[in-house]
Structure 1
Amino acid sequence: MRIGLAFGDARQQRDLAGIGEQIRTANGIDTAWVTQGPNLDALITLAGASAAGPRELGTAVVPIPQRHPLMLASQALTVQAATGNRLTLGIGVGIARMVDAMFGLPTDRPARRLREYLEVLRPLLRGEAVDHHGETLTAVGAVAIEGAAEPSVLVAALGPAMLKVTGELADGTITWMTGPRTLEEYVVPSITKAAQGRPAPRVVAGLHVCLTTDTDAARARYATDFALSGQVPEYRAVLDREGASGPADVLIAGDEHSITKQLDRLRDAGVTDAMLAPIGTADEQRRTTEFLVTVGR
């Protein structure tokens, strides 16, 4: 199982220069993931941090409703050219409440919209022209950027219909706040079945982590700080499937031995990549990061 670090909105980070420096110095980590929220743009952040750092740079995830596939293909291939083809493009249909309330965009038929989007985006990323006039999307054109290779595409897929489309058309999935039992019994078998006849899909498990000597205090603080996340329908569904009362129940927390056991549980569940977002005090985040680097090595 590859070990990656998450940066950006998932850790309430707003300092572009600081994030870039952390990514450039994240030696020993397989992947630097930048989470996309309403603040820093994940793709631009990665392009600016391209000088050094991990061999893989990923977005987790770029919401697609407000980015036409021609635009996203241009952005992604530009980042590929800027980073020496180290990008893994993570995308998602977005949190429905945000897509509707913030942008006034439709959120119905998410699996149908995702399928059409991928049917257009994948050829564009290969440098092919598209002429698509579908139910939810029109796209005519092509994108060509010298030196840019087609990036791998992962999808934030949690529901059964979304996992089916992802398994058929993408290279894997990125989950968030999804516990090990749900990953083992639901996510991994669902996407693996959908991907039959294709390369085995990547399963990236995104979770917060805190190396601490006071696990109860860390979980209590986390339950307060991320209470709203537990009310988002998309996340609430996987928490319910896990039997978790809230996000704190899936927080990876404890000492070095405990965190290692929790990571082993993810690996045994079929997770191929852990995308870990250190939280806590500045000292706890520093020590957590240092420990994860040793695990990655």
Structure 2
Amino acid sequence: MRISVMIGEVRGPADRDDLLSQATAARGLDGIWSAQALGWDALTTLVLAGGHAPGVPLGTAVVPVRQRHPLTLAGQALSIQAATGGRLTLGIGAGIGAMTGAMFGLPADRPARYLREYLQILRPLLRGEPVAHSGEFLTAMGTVDVPAPAPQVLLAALGPAMLRLAGEAADGTVTWMTGPHTLESHIVPRITAAASAAGRPAPRVVAALPVCVTADPDAARARIAERFAMAARVPEYRAALDRENAAGPQDVAVVGDEETVARALRRLAGTGVTEFVAAPLGDPAEQQRAVELLTGLAGAAGDRRSS
């Protein structure tokens, strides 16, 4: 299992210097990922990060697509590929339905059908091919002329329909707030079966969770419960939390001292996850402890893979 890190506002308020510092500290890890929330643009963040972590793979986890036409997103993604030397993995998702409607006034129904059609347009565009599509949800006519390799595309998928789509039409999935039991018994087998049935390679399964290396785990879990309270309420995450018998994000977060966190990552590695993405939380000292631990674990895992 590869070990990577999230940078940006998912870890707390972040300015440019914070992003660059987080990216620099991630040089010894297997990847740098950026989420699309309410502030920094996820793809632009990776351009900044890429210059301060040479050679480190980059990914979005994830870009909601309802408000980005596939022609627009393909142009952005290929521009990032060209700017960073082909290091991008493009994680996309339908977005949280309540936010899509309330913030953008866009429909959020039939997300799996919408994303299937979106991928039918996006993937040819990422390969530099022209599209002429007029479908149920989208119209797209044109091409994107940016000389860069097509990035792999991962789909945010938690439910059966979306996992089937991710296995059939994407390169894998990226999850958030999903615990080890759910990953092992639901996410990994469903997407793997879908990819196999479609004759596709084994999918990537990228699992992202909050991490806090701390001497006060109870306080850390209380902070996580408060900060990510919305995830305990929206249907997209509530179903995954229920599968884990978790009251909220605090129960699936990876929290504790170095040995406790290392043990939790070993458990995740046994679920079939191919990459773990940590979102370090806490005060600066706690976040530094987390990054140092993750870097050591990533180095040890890399040594095992190369031996």
TM range (shorter): over 0.9
The CA deviation at 1:220 is: 2.1
Code of the residue aligned with 1:218 in structure 2: it is: A
Partner of 1:199: 201
1:57-94 Cα offsets, whole Å, 9 max, x none, are 10110110000000000000000000001011010010
Q: Given that residues 50 and 56 in structure 2 are in contact (C-alpha distance below 8 angstroms), is that contact kept between their aligned partners in structure 1?
A: no
The answer for unaligned runs of 5 or more in structure 2 is 300-307
User: Is 1:39 the equivalent of 2:39?
Assistant: yes
The answer for unaligned runs of 5 or more in structure 1 is none
1:230-284 Cα offsets, whole Å, 9 max, x none, are 1122111100111111111101011111111100111101110001001111211
Q: Please give the alpha-carbon distance, in whole angstroms, between the structure 2 residues aligned to 1:190 and 1:49.
A: 33
1:162-203 Cα offsets, whole Å, 9 max, x none, are 111111010010100000000000000010011012111011
User: Is 1:228 the equivalent of 2:230?
Assistant: yes
User: Is 1:166 the equivalent of 2:188?
Assistant: no
Q: 2:247 aligns with which of 223, 245, 248?
A: 245
Code of the residue aligned with 1:226 in structure 2: it is: F
Structure 1 window deviating more from structure 2 (72-81 vs 205-214): it is 205-214
Query: Would the alpha carbon gap of residues 48 and 77 (structure 1) be closer, same or farther in structure 2, given more than 3 Å must change?
Result: same
Q: Please give the alpha-carbon distance, in whole angstroms, between the structure 1 residues aligned to 2:105 and 2:248.
A: 29
Count residues with an aligned counterpart.
296
The CA deviation at 1:120 is: 0.6
Q: Given that residues 92 and 156 in structure 1 are in contact (C-alpha distance below 8 angstroms), is that contact kept between their aligned partners in structure 2?
A: yes
User: Is 1:215 the equivalent of 2:217?
Assistant: yes
Q: Please give the alpha-carbon distance, in whole angstroms, between the structure 1 residues aligned to 2:177 and 2:229.
A: 12
Q: Given that residues 91 and 154 in structure 1 are in contact (C-alpha distance below 8 angstroms), is that contact kept between their aligned partners in structure 2?
A: yes
Q: 1:256 aligns with which of 258, 275, 280?
A: 258
Give the 3-state SS of the residue equivalent to 2:51 in structure 1. Answer: coil
Q: Given that residues 20 and 52 in structure 2 are in contact (C-alpha distance below 8 angstroms), is that contact kept between their aligned partners in structure 1?
A: no
Q: Please give the alpha-carbon distance, in whole angstroms, between the structure 2 residues aligned to 1:13 and 1:88.
A: 24
Give the 3-state SS of the residue equivalent to 1:220 in structure 2. Answer: helix
1:109-131 Cα offsets, whole Å, 9 max, x none, are 11100000001100000000011
Give the 3-state SS of the residue equivalent to 1:167 in structure 2. Answer: helix
Partner of 2:179: 179
The CA deviation at 1:219 is: 1.4
% identity of equivalent residues = 58
Q: Given that residues 6 and 277 in structure 2 are in contact (C-alpha distance below 8 angstroms), is that contact kept between their aligned partners in structure 1?
A: yes
Structure 1 window deviating more from structure 2 (63-72 vs 227-236): it is 227-236
Q: Given that residues 25 and 291 in structure 2 are in contact (C-alpha distance below 8 angstroms), is that contact kept between their aligned partners in structure 1?
A: no
User: Is 1:24 the equivalent of 2:24?
Assistant: yes
1:132-187 Cα offsets, whole Å, 9 max, x none, are 111111111101112x1100101111111111111101001010000000000000
Partner of 1:189: 189
Partner of 1:136: 137
Partner of 1:63: 64
Q: Given that residues 24 and 51 in structure 1 are in contact (C-alpha distance below 8 angstroms), is that contact kept between their aligned partners in structure 2?
A: no
Q: Given that residues 35 and 61 in structure 1 are in contact (C-alpha distance below 8 angstroms), is that contact kept between their aligned partners in structure 2?
A: yes
Structure 1 window deviating more from structure 2 (196-205 vs 12-21): it is 12-21
Q: Given that residues 167 and 193 in structure 1 are in contact (C-alpha distance below 8 angstroms), is that contact kept between their aligned partners in structure 2?
A: yes
Q: 1:288 aligns with which of 265, 290, 297?
A: 290
Q: Please give the alpha-carbon distance, in whole angstroms, between the structure 1 residues aligned to 2:67 and 2:17.
A: 26
Q: Please give the alpha-carbon distance, in whole angstroms, between the structure 2 residues aligned to 1:189 and 1:220.
A: 32
TM-score of the superposed pair, with normalisation by structure 1: 0.97
Q: Please give the alpha-carbon distance, in whole angstroms, between the structure 1 residues aligned to 2:205 and 2:10.
A: 19
Structure 1 window deviating more from structure 2 (119-128 vs 47-56): it is 47-56
